[in-house]
Amino acid sequence: MPFDEKTLSRLARAEEVEIVTAGAQPVVIWVVLVGTGVYVRSVRGAKGNWYRHLVRDGVGELRVDRARLPIKATRIEDVTTIHAVSLALEQKYRDPDSLASMLRSNTLPTTLRLDPR
């Protein structure tokens, strides 16, 4: 079951959100929508602490505004979806230095789809 329209709208507008996973401190990350799918990517690649914990456990929490959203994560391996997420990042975030680090070859495999838990 996907996120509701209100939550999707809130995530689409959010410049940054916090992600919380077991065993890791809350971390500020970027979030994008592709259709009604919610996607994130680790700027530190597979070394990112929140990423490793989320992949290991499969569950976590997003914090946007004052809302706490329990999430489950799915690794994305489909090249078409990974490319669509990259395009969504390029459209939403315009800082070339920060954006470049989200589009590096070592960050692409860390693309995750988040769904409500």
Quickly count: other Cβ atoms within 10 Å of residue 1's Cβ: 5
pLDDT at residue 116, as a whole number:
97
pLDDT at residue 69, as a whole number:
96
As given in the structure block, the two tokens for residue 112 are 């995750």
Contact 35, 110 (CB under 8 A): no
Q: Dump pLDDT digits (tens) for 5-63.
A: 999 999 999 999 999 999 888 999 999 999 999 999 999 999 999 999 999 999 999 99
Contact 84, 34 (CB under 8 A): yes
pLDDT at residue 24, as a whole number:
83
Place 70 in a pLDDT band, splitting at 50, 70 and 90.
very high
Mean pLDDT of 65-87: 96
Q: Dump pLDDT digits (tens) for 79-110.
A: 999 999 999 999 999 888 889 999 999 999 99
Query: What global pTM score does this model have?
Result: 0.95
Contact 102, 89 (CB under 8 A): yes
pLDDT at residue 98, as a whole number:
85
pLDDT at residue 52, as a whole number:
96
- Asked if pLDDT for residue 1 goes beyond 80, the answer is no
Please report the domains of the chain, with CATH numbers, ordered by start residue.
5-116 (2.30.110.10)
pLDDT at residue 36, as a whole number:
93
User: Nearest 5°: phi and psi at 16?
Assistant: -140, 150
Residues 6+ apart with CB under 8 A from 78: none
